[in-house]
Chains A and B, each alone.
Chain A
Amino acid sequence: MAHPMSGKAAICGLGMTEMGRVYRSATDLATEAVFLALGDAGLEKSQLDGLLVNAGTTRGVNLGLHRHLGLQELNVLTFMQGFGSTAGQMIQYAAMAVENGMADYIACVFADDPLQEGKRTGDAYASGQRREAMASLNSIYGYAGAIPMYAMGAQRHMDTFGTRQDQLGQIAVSQRQWAGLNEQATKREPMSLEDYHNSPWVVEPFHVLDCCLVSNGGVAVIVTTAERARDLSQPPVYIRGFAQAHNHDTGRSGHDPLLQGPGVKAGPRALAMADAKLEDITQCQIYDCYTYTVLVTLEDYGFCKKGEGGAFVEDGKLGPGGSLPTNTGGGELSSFYMWGMTPVTEAVIQARGQGGARQMPNDLILVTGNGGILNYHSNLILSPQAA
């Protein structure tokens, strides 16, 4: 039997600004996203009584967003930060709040503005701060940002299980094929495995094309009860299951945090809430900061055995025409990088049946969010049906 909360809340509004080199502040992008979501749902601003805010890389939007929105009275308001797992978490907490009567309509908002006019993409996350000796060691050793650690995850997978570069590349190629069908995607030009191999190394075994895009933009979704959602402009997207799991990497030997993430725990919990089996999942929207994140998450959820992710993705089954449609908008690798909101937006579009040329069977959609180095994890199981 499904959990009593399963299917009782729904996403009723989606707002997406322009994505990419949009030189506006994160606060401005977040504000526009909320107005777009209200319009999409057919709601008046005065009906919005809850706001959850998540800032991206630049920390460019904060709790004060409610002032920019002119929201004078709110029943739920907070700023949240669980990195790439936050988008899913905001929707989870919003679902619990509306089901329990704390608020009627809660907007969950993410915005980021790392791209600056006249600055190269590669410099977007660079920091010129001079630090103390011990604190500076990681950058002296070459550990800048998350890429080296995820690259080491991929390398450990390769050394341990024989996973090949081609197999990581196929994930990027499959997602680019999806992006070609998505007019909102940033990178739509066709890409072959050869293009993948020819793209420069960043931290080997990661080419540039193993890594997510850098994007400016804002996204908002509005969560309400299933009952209210049925009276609004858009088909309700029911929240059938969700869970979180978080691993603290202790920096100690004897555990294997790069080969297995917390999704291994969060997956069964969300499926149990939805009273569903993994085989019931008809498509996946998986957090894909790097190709390897997709591979390890598919294994953690049990779509294939641990270690067999490379062989699993190699035949293109994640791409158009494949048996497990995954990241059908192009994902963070090819569409845009709005942290956990990238998989959420595509799941909402797909659940509503608004995917156009890329619309796939949408009975049960798995959405995952991942932050840190496979440390923080949330998920959602979304569906056009309440039960």
Chain B
Amino acid sequence: MTDKTNSERAWIPAATQATQPFFDGAAEGKLRLQLCSGCNTWAYPLTTRCANCGSTKLQWQDASGEGTVYSHAKLQRAYHPRHKQRLPLVLAQVDIPEGLRLMTNLIDVDPAAVCVGDTVVAAFETFDDGGVLPVFKKA
């Protein structure tokens, strides 16, 4: 990617009607995910059918925002304009009490001090263009 392309590109592209609630939730400081009314199983990423019971009755609900680090790594090369001033960027898979494992980032943390099992909470990163990205930070 060239810098020219980057400046022309919003950090998060436009959401569709189906995915908008996730980003609306983030803008309100909530980790908003889908919950199946059929079997009470949470779903992420966005789906139209519950992988557990097959129901299409999925509703947007706010998750607790709590989590535990399943694993982590440090991105050392930028692949997206957001990464450039953030290297090393802490990649983390976070287990949330809702039963999901989220692929996310940890922010405001010493990358050398992250460990499997760390307790984390949802946080929200606001970009210059107004986009808001759900992430996590140490509790």
A residues touching B (Cβ–Cβ < 8 Å)?
126, 128, 130-134, 136-144, 148, 151-156, 159-160, 200-206, 250-254, 258
Contacts and interface: CB of A to CB of B under 8 A. Distances in A.
Nearest to A156: B71
A134 B19 contact: yes
B47 to A, nearest CB: 10
Interface string B38-76: 000000111000010000000000000000001111111
How many interface residues does chain B have, given as a range? 35 or more
Interface of B: 1, 5, 9, 11-16, 19, 22-23, 44-46, 51, 70-77, 79-80, 82-83, 88-89, 91, 93, 95-96, 99-101, 103-105, 115-117, 133, 135
B85 to A, nearest CB: 13
B72 A130 contact: no
Contacts of A140: 11-12, 80, 82, 133
B101 A151 contact: no
B73 A205 contact: yes
Contacts, number: 115
Contacts of B51: 250
Contact of B100 (A152, A153, A252): A252
Contact of A134 (B11, B46, B74, B135): B46
B79 A139 contact: yes
A52 to B, nearest CB: 31
A134 B22 contact: yes
B87 to A, nearest CB: 9
Given A131-B13, A134-B22, A134-B46, 20 more contacts: A132-B13, A132-B14, A133-B15, A134-B45, A136-B12, A137-B45, A138-B103, A142-B83, A148-B73, A151-B73, A152-B72, A152-B93, A155-B72, A159-B71, A160-B116, A201-B88, A203-B76, A203-B77, A205-B73, A253-B100
A134 B74 CA distance: 22
Nearest to B82: A140
A130 B79 CA distance: 13
Contact of A141 (B46, B88, B91): B91
A345 to B, nearest CB: 31
Contacts of A137: 12, 45, 133
Contact of A251 (B44, B74, B75): B44
A252 B99 contact: yes
B26 to A, nearest CB: 10
A137 B132 CA distance: 11
B95 A253 contact: yes
A203 B70 CA distance: 17
B69 to A, nearest CB: 9
Contacts of A132: 13-16, 19
A195 B79 CA distance: 25
A218 B76 CA distance: 32
A152 B71 CA distance: 6
Contacts of A205: 73
Nearest to B18: A134
Contacts of B116: 155-156, 159-160
Contacts of B93: 152
Nearest to B68: A253
A156 to B, nearest CB: 4
Q: Which among A126, A137, A141 has the greatest number of chain B C-beta atoms within 10 A?
A: A141
A138 to B, nearest CB: 6
B17 to A, nearest CB: 11
14 contacts: A130-B13, A133-B14, A133-B15, A133-B16, A134-B19, A144-B79, A151-B91, A155-B73, A156-B116, A159-B115, A203-B76, A251-B100, A251-B101, A252-B100
Contact of B1 (A128, A160, A201): A128
Nearest to A141: B105
Contacts of A144: 79
B8 to A, nearest CB: 10
A143 B91 contact: yes
Given A141-B103, A203-B74, A253-B101, A134 B133 contact: no
Q: Which among B1, B9, B93 has the greatest number of chain A C-beta atoms within 10 A?
A: B93
